[in-house]
Amino acid sequence: MTYARGRRVAQAFVIFASCLFLFSCVGGSNTTPTGTPISITLVSSANTLALGQSVVVTARVYDQNNRGATWTLSPVNFGTLTDQTATSVTYTAPSDFTVPTKITIMATSVSNPDVTSSVQISVSPILVTIAPLTERTINAGEQSPMIASVVNDLTSSGVTWSISPPTGAGTIADVTPSGATYVAPAVVTNPVTAKITVSSIANPSATASVRFTTLAAGAGPNVAALRVDGGPVTGAGRPNAAFTSVTICNPGDLTVCQTIDGILVDTGSVGLRILQSQIPLLKLPTFSDGSGNTLENCVTYPDGSFLWGPVARADVYIAGEVAPNDLLQVITSSNNPVSNGCSNGTLNNLNSMELLGANGILGIGPEPTDCIVAGRNLCDSSILPTPPNLYFSCPSQGCDPTDTAVVVGRDKQVTNPVALFPLDNNGTILQLAPVSSPEVETFGTLTFGIETETNNALGGATVYTTNREGNFTTIFNAQTLSASYIDSGAAEFVFPGLMPTCSVNTKLYCPPALRNLVATNRGSTQGMGDVSFSVDNADTMFASDPGYAVFGSLGAQNATYNSCVNGAGGCTFVWGLPFFYGRSVYTAIDGQFVPFGTPNAPWWAY
Amino acid sequence: MKRRRGEVIVKANRCFPLAAILLLLSTPAFAALGGDASSVRDDQARMMATRKVKETRTYAIHELTTATGIVIRQYVSPAGRVFGVSWSGAFMPDMSQLLGTYFSQFPGATRATSVVRRDHNHLIIRAHRLVLESTGHMRAYSGRAYDPALLPEGVQGYDVR
């Protein structure tokens, strides 16, 4: 818990101003008729208070008329002043606050209101924390212990436990003063999520909570729950997008953490990117160049939109995994100037939840940082003497549009958090339930590690290696599309096709009826196999199932059919999220250890 | 802002040749779509890009590779105008320079073209005077753009690649 710097500055000013007043009265401008200066000295019986506690503040007023002082409190109404006399007052802290606060009690001379003195008192709230820290998966019929801890509760009143929804999502058992056990439902068909909240009895508004998602099977500390549910933007559901939650903490400090839902899981990018507006309580360290400039990161999209914000260091928790000192991008909320090298001169800065369609992006593509491709670091000047438009060094008020990119080594690049996990760090398995017709929502899992635990075996999956650009080849409808890839962050099968596009959703395909199609994927050095998929009329599907989030047959056009010749032109087939329905898709991270018998990463497998 | 500009000037004075080269390297400029091909050679020099020219029966392809490895092809008509451009590389090229006056039709180029959309990894524009296709993901981008009205006799849109 923290408090605003602005308030601290204001309080410092108040103290400074009071000192000035006192000093000036010594100078003789504020005097009693007899000429002796008036002054006030305050003594407090305590400088720190917990919830509901009281303190007596005494004033020694040097004033020939002995008229004493009057009392004021700032912030007004944060607690109460009672038993007010000319020389003392009792302050009582409130009983229902949750943010640490510094209050100021000021005494003002009755004889001369220009003479004041004040004392500051820190008031600490009851803080409740719960372990586990972040959302967990659990198998049906299993149990998980939970621990609650409370600080600043002088009455040691303890906590109460509650579960939402109250029925059908498991129960709470074995409640002790410091813990309880979550008992998952005995049987589930679809995943069921329960939110457990622990509240201080002394101050019920001091709470902490954690979610458990019960799966039929396959849960574990290395498994995060995924939801394809439209995401966090109310009234503007995002179809075919998988979301999870992450917990971000100030480095090395478990007491200052925030859990953020609505994080898009994206195999098409690398690195965690969080909207600044989602982490107001955190103060994450950034990189400075010594002249006060902050290292900023840029993501550009093919449509000219972009993400902008500083590289920041944080401990990132996902399921039971932790990426200590992960380097992430904090997407700046302000619309301060951005280098043209990043913005391309466009205004499409995706810096709000509404614009991004998510609260953040968890980029888990097969690379360790956002500037490494197939073992080559393109930002550290080892290969490209000129740095590309990914990293910039800018003053706090914003970049100059003409500012150029800077060289940045791997130790300052936005990092794939999976690569930093202690054990399950060589890749991921993204798995979603099969889909036959549009659905309101569906579920899945993101499993960390490949062949590192009993629940992440490669099994019979076929490995497809990638080329120097990080892509593989898809052969579709007599086209050899050599810049193809798998992208859970894309909502469709995206390809150069002959089907008509839609009249309403003009980027999408609208065949007259469902089309069943087949393509062949071919890895760079190994892997070959057919993929059956289908594309249906997007306008019809969206119109008949408004508000649905799951469409297994969504297709989009990214280039003119047959414009790809010898690797130039429209040569990209994007296997978007519909590809993941009913599949387990493995992503092996470049440079990490891979299972015995598999080629060096990066590669995909399914 | 003022303070920062001052810093840049100081650096430039101290080591001008290096700073000047870096500045030139990092501000690539191309003969934009619809522009005059005679500027291509100047651009190449300014960018310190490598250039190859391939002549076909009906047009010339000027292929530049930028300092950050982006391959840019400019399709030049017999009349000397750039009727199409294409790009591929690990980074997006500067679309405002590549598209020239056509950039005003690019999403977000002006407030009027700034719209809330979700799917940012591909873009298609099919307008009367601009066909543009852009696709890709982090560290692999490609695309092409042409003006149908500028295509030389016998040349099809898909020839721009």
Q: Is residue A502 part of a domain?
A: yes
The per-residue pLDDT for A256 is 84
> What is the CATH number for A61?
2.60.40.1930
Q: How many domains does chain A have?
A: 4
**Run of H or E residues at B47:** helix B39-47
What residues are paired with B124 via a beta bridge? B133
Q: Are B108 and A301 an interchain contact pair (Cβ–Cβ within 8 Å)?
A: no
Residue B25: band (very low, low, confident or very high) from pLDDT cuts 50, 70, 90: very low
Q: In terms of domains, do A139 and A285 share one?
A: no
Write the single-letter amino acid at B152: P
| Crossing angle between the packed helical segments B16-26 and B39-47, to the nearest 10 degrees | 130
Q: Which one, of A243, A240, A212, lies nearest residue A227 by Cα?
A: A243
Same domain, A96 and A152: no
pLDDT of res. B16: 39
Q: Does the beta-carbon distance from A270 to B114 stay under 8 Å? A: no
Q: Which of B135, B20, B117 is nearest to A576 (CA)?
A: B135
How many Cβ pairs within 8 Å bridge chains A and B? 196
B48: confidence class by pLDDT, cuts 50, 70, 90: low
In this predicted model, what pLDDT tens digit does every residue of A141-155 receive, in sequence order? 999 999 999 988 888
- Chain A residues with CB-CB distance to B26 below 8 A: 341, 386-387, 404-405
**Shortest CA distance from B160: residue in chain A:** A569
Chain A nearest C-alpha distance from B65 (Å)? 12
CA distance B14 to chain A (A): 17
Q: Is residue A96 part of a domain?
A: yes
List the domain range (segments joined by +) for residue A342: 256-422
Of the residues A398, A422, A446, the one at which a domain ends:
A422
Q: What is the mean pLDDT of residues A272-298?
A: 95
What residues pair up with A574 in beta bridges, in sequence order?
Answer: A485, A494
Domain assignment of residue A228, yes or no: no
Structural domain contains residue B147: yes
d(CA A98, CA A82): 23
Question: What is the model's pLDDT at position B149?
Answer: 96
The verdict on residue A21 lying in a domain is: yes
Check B158 against A562: CB less than 8 A apart: yes
Same domain, A350 and A270: yes
* Residue B149 placed within a domain: yes
pLDDT at residue A312 in the model: 98
pLDDT at residue B44 in the model:
64
Q: Do A384 and B121 count as a contact with CB atoms less than 8 A apart?
A: no
Residue A225 lies in a domain: no
User: Would you call A291 and B137 a contact, using CB atoms and an 8 Å cutoff?
Assistant: no
Domain of B76 in residue numbering reads as 28-159
- If asked whether residues A393 and A264 sit together in one domain, one would say yes
Are A346 and A383 members of one domain?
Answer: yes
- In chain B, how many domains are there? 1
The answer on A78 and A169 residing in a single domain is no
Nearest-by-Cβ selection for A507 from B5, B119, B136:
B119
For residue B154, tell me if it sits in a domain.
Answer: yes
Determine the average pLDDT of the residues in A149-162.
90
Q: What is the pLDDT of residue A436?
A: 92
Q: In what order do the strands lie in the sheet with A515-522?
A: A528-535, A515-522, A472-476, A479-486, A574-575, A493-494, A555-556
Angle at B86 between CA B90 and CA A603, to 5 degrees: 35
Whether A243 is in a domain gets the answer no
Q: Examine the domain organization and report whether A317 and A411 are in the same domain.
A: yes
Residues A71 and A151 in one domain: no
Q: Which residue did the predictor score with more confidence, A307 or A27?
A: A307
Q: Which residues pair with A146 in a beta bridge?
A: A180
Q: What pLDDT is stored for residue B51 in this prediction? A: 78
Same domain, residue pair A311 and A432: no
Q: pLDDT tens digits, residue range A183-216?
A: 999 999 999 999 999 999 988 999 999 999 999 9
In this structure, the answer to whether residues A312 and A347 fall within a common structural domain is yes
Looking at the fold, whether A131 and A120 belong to one and the same domain comes out as no
CB distance B107–A346 less than 8 Å?
yes
- From A386, A489, A559, residue closest to B25, measured CB to CB: A386
Is A500 a domain residue? yes
Q: How far is CA A11 from CA A14, A72, A102, A121, in A?
A: 5, 14, 9, 11
Residue B2 falls inside a structural domain:
no
For B22, nearest residue in chain A (alpha carbons): A386
When pLDDT is cut at 50, 70 and 90, the band that residue A337 belongs to is confident
pLDDT digits (tens, 9 = 90+) for A42-77: 999 888 898 888 999 999 888 888 888 999 999 998
- Rounded Cα gap, residues A364 and A414, in angstroms: 12
In a domain, B21, yes or no: no
- Whether B15 is in a domain gets the answer no
Mean pLDDT (chain A) is: 92
**Domain C-terminal end among A124, A144, A166:** A124
Q: For A264-273, what is the mean pLDDT?
A: 98
A446-462 pLDDT tens trace: 999 999 999 999 999 99
Judgement on whether residues A403 and A481 belong to the same structural domain of the protein: no
Task: Between A255 and A59, name the one with better pLDDT.
Answer: A59
Is B140 part of any domain?
yes
pLDDT digits (tens, 9 = 90+) for A525-581: 999 999 999 999 999 999 999 999 999 999 999 999 999 999 999 999 999 999 999
Q: Determine whether B133 is exposed, middle or buried from the number of CB atoms within 10 Å of its CB (0-12, 13-18, 19+).
A: buried
Q: Answer yes or no: is B122 within a domain.
A: yes
Percent of chain A beyond pLDDT 90? 80
Contact criterion met (CB < 8 Å) for A346 and B4: no
Q: Among A268, A371, A568, select the one facing B121 at the smallest CB separation.
A: A268
Of A559, A503, A512, A561, nearest to A535 (Cα)?
A512
Look at residues A80, A103, A124 and tell me which one is the last residue of a structural domain. A124
- Specify if A230 maps to a domain: no
